[in-house]
Amino acid sequence: MNPLHKILIEKNSSCKAIWFMRQAGRYLPEFREIRSQNQDFVKLCLDSDLSSKITLQPVKRFDVDSAIIFSDILMVPYALGQEIKFIKDRGPELSDFKIEKFQDNNEIDFRKRLNPIYKAIEKTRKALDNKKSLISFIGAPWTLMVYMLGLKKNKNKLNFNQLIKEKSKIELIKNKLIKYLCIHLENQINAGADVVQIFDSWAGLIPSDNISEYCFIPNAKIIEFCKYKKIPNICFPKGLRKNYEIFNKLVKPDGLNIDYELEAQWAKKHLKNVVLQGGLDPKFLLKSEKEMLNEASKYIKIFKDIPYIFNLGHGLLPETEPDKVSKLIKFYRDHK
């Protein structure tokens, strides 16, 4: 049993495991080389050979316990008929959502559009050491709807009135997304993924009165499916603050990634019967080596006597130095 499985399944607090969100990304020169020759991000995600190669880059370079498949949460809206462009310095832009087109989808076409991702998982699993986990992932329904329906007009403001006006339509979209996300998860598991992570990146934008129907219940349904498939799982409902506690009690994931806005001691005290993961601000890797290791040491000491996976409260930043990542991993491995 590999370290990630040992922690997530056995809740073993003596076992060490480390990996990073966005560990295959722009901070690596070998990734930038591939990216410079492949400007279309969607096509890159659908190139099974390159996707597998990128996935394995950080595993070859660093002593991490897991690979995470190179893909994007927005590949599901793509497979459901929305066009996606990734604009430099602006992020993803999706074509206008059309409910008729969305309802016209079927499982066969959905799988066909995403088949290169499943092939990439198969290739990666064959190339990956059995001691390493292979993580696949999805975006939670709420976070996907934020992008698909253009609800996020700026970084921190949400057009929630649109949801109130179109409640029945939103309910239909949400339920259909849950169905297709479970199909996507099952296909990834069948291809060789042995851990799954669910990213609810915009959970923190949901008004408190609506958080159950848009965050807790959809995530709980997906986790229920994961448990039916007997696949270790991790949720990352970013920005929930103290609602993390309610999320944990209602959703009951195997693992819970905390973000850097959540105080580590509070998380340890209030988040019970779950493996905690992450929490560190990615910006701490941009500090001096001494400051970086001091910060890491605090987290290691706080979580040393509970099941914990060392990670961040968000993905690695593009300006991160790979050498700093190496030193951080070594420090974690050597820490008593």
Q: How far apart are CA 101 and CA 120, in angstroms?
A: 28
Average pLDDT of span 116-123: 99
- Report pLDDT for 335: 87
Q: At what angle do helices 141-148 and 167-191 cross, to 10 degrees?
A: 120
Question: Which tens digit of pLDDT belongs to each residue from 187-228?
Answer: 999 999 999 999 999 999 998 999 999 999 999 999 999 999
Question: Which tens digit of pLDDT belongs to each residue from 140-183?
Answer: 999 999 999 988 655 556 666 767 678 888 999 999 999 999 99
- Report pLDDT for 165: 72
pTM of the model: 0.96
Q: Where are the domains of the chain?
A: 3-334
For 153, half-sphere exposure in the C-beta direction (CA atoms, 13 angstrom radius) is 6
Average pLDDT of span 286-314: 97
- Report pLDDT for 150: 86
Q: How far apart are CA 141 and CA 252, in angstroms?
A: 17
Question: Which tens digit of pLDDT belongs to each residue from 63-74?
Answer: 999 999 999 999
Q: What percent of the chain has pLDDT over 70?
A: 96
Specify the residue for token string 């995470």.
Answer: 68
- Report pLDDT for 146: 93
- pLDDT-derived band at 91, boundaries 50, 70, 90: confident
Q: How far apart are CA 299 and CA 280, in angstroms?
A: 8
- pLDDT-derived band at 2, boundaries 50, 70, 90: very high
Average pLDDT of span 88-101: 88
Domain 3-334 has CATH 3.10.129.10: no
Question: Which tens digit of pLDDT belongs to each residue from 38-54?
Answer: 999 999 999 999 999 99
- In the predicted model, is pLDDT for residue 315 greater than 60? yes
User: Mean pLDDT score of the chain, rounded to an integer?
Assistant: 95
Mean pLDDT check: name the lowest of 54-63, 152-161, 315-324. Answer: 152-161
Question: Which tens digit of pLDDT belongs to each residue from 195-204?
Answer: 999 999 999 9
- Report pLDDT for 156: 55
Q: Which tokens sit at 226?
A: 């994961």
